């Protein structure tokens, strides 16, 4: 299982080199989603770089130093499932936002499970990278719901953005309460800042809620670091 985790982490990190992805094609939705307010600014997606590198480093450390450590056993199974689904996610997202949404929620559920089961020791090479991964997936999964709601005409673009914020903040608060850390809320806060910047000067209410929520999550994470 340690080696399998490393292999999936490497495959997951390498996938963008084989399947480039710049976001969902707006025309894949019945109501095309051009510049939707729910989606963070493009630069926010740069967080995937640290996520990929940190997950690979964590898995490599697990093989090298924690191969048989009992505290490292529980989180590997759900993490492998999440990463395995992530390997094919880009290909699916290019053709079907609905199935991509289903898969990203599978990734999120198993990533959160792995995060909650991650060891207390080796914080920087276990809980921290998985937390960053799970935090960003929390935001991305919520955004995917907002895109579907607007793209299929269930809600307007702005109400769909608010719906995504509510989902992300609810999940984020529950998980952070259950397992306080720095990286999990930081990843969600980063996405919220991206949403605020994307809508600056256009939707002041959405910008304010996203900004204040990001500040609260960042503060919560900082307090977790002190304790």
- Give me the pLDDT at residue 38, please: 96
What pLDDT digit, counting tens, does each position of 188-219 carry? 999 999 999 999 999 999 999 999 999 999 99
Q: How many CB atoms lie within 10 A of CB 34?
A: 9
Compute CA 70 distance to the chain's CA centroid, rounded to the nearest angstrom.
Answer: 27
What span, in angstroms and rounded, lies between the C-alpha atoms of 83 and 107? 7
| Domain boundaries defined on the chain | 2-9+39-226
What span, in angstroms and rounded, lies between the C-alpha atoms of 124 and 200? 34
What span, in angstroms and rounded, lies between the C-alpha atoms of 159 and 36? 11
Compute CA 53 distance to the chain's CA centroid, rounded to the nearest angstrom.
Answer: 15
What pLDDT digit, counting tens, does each position of 139-167 carry? 999 999 999 999 999 999 999 999 999 99
227 has a pLDDT exceeding 90: no
Eight-state DSSP code of residue 40 = P
What span, in angstroms and rounded, lies between the C-alpha atoms of 223 and 217? 10
Across the chain, mean pLDDT equals 95
Can you say whether the dihedral through the CA atoms of 85, 87, 88, 92 is positive or negative?
positive
Q: Are 87 and 11 in contact (CB under 8 A)?
A: yes
Q: Are 89 and 103 in contact (CB under 8 A)?
A: yes
- Give me the pLDDT at residue 100, please: 97
- Give me the pLDDT at residue 106, please: 98
- Give me the pLDDT at residue 219, please: 95
Identify the band that residue 224 occupies on the pLDDT scale cut at 50, 70 and 90. confident
């Amino acid at each position: 299982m340690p080696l399998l985790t490393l292999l999936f982490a490497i495959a997951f990190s390498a996938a963008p080199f084989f399947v480039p992805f710049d976001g969902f094609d707006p025309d894949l939705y019945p109501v095309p989603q051009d510049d939707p307010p729910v989606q963070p600014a493009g630069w926010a997606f740069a967080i995937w770089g640290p996520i990929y590198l940190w997950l690979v480093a964590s898995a490599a450390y697990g093989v090298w130093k924690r191969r048989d450590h009992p505290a490292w056993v529980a989180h590997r199974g759900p993490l492998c499932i999440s990463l395995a689904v992530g390997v094919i996610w880009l290909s699916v997202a290019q053709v079907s936002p609905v199935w991509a949404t289903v898969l990203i929620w599978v990734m999120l559920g198993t990533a959160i499970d792995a995060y909650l089961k991650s060891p207390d020791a080796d914080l920087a090479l276990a809980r921290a990278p998985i937390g960053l991964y799970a935090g960003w997936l929390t935001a991305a999964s919520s955004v995917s719901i907002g895109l579907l709601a607007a793209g299929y005409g269930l809600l307007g673009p702005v109400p769909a953005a608010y719906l995504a914020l509510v989902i992300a903040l609810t999940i984020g608060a529950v998980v952070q309460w259950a397992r306080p850390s720095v990286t999990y809320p930081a990843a969600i806060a980063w996405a919220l800042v991206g949403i605020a910047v994307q809508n600056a000067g256009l939707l002041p209410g959405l910008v304010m809620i996203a900004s204040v929520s990001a500040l609260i999550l960042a503060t919560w994470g900082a307090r977790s670091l002190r304790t």
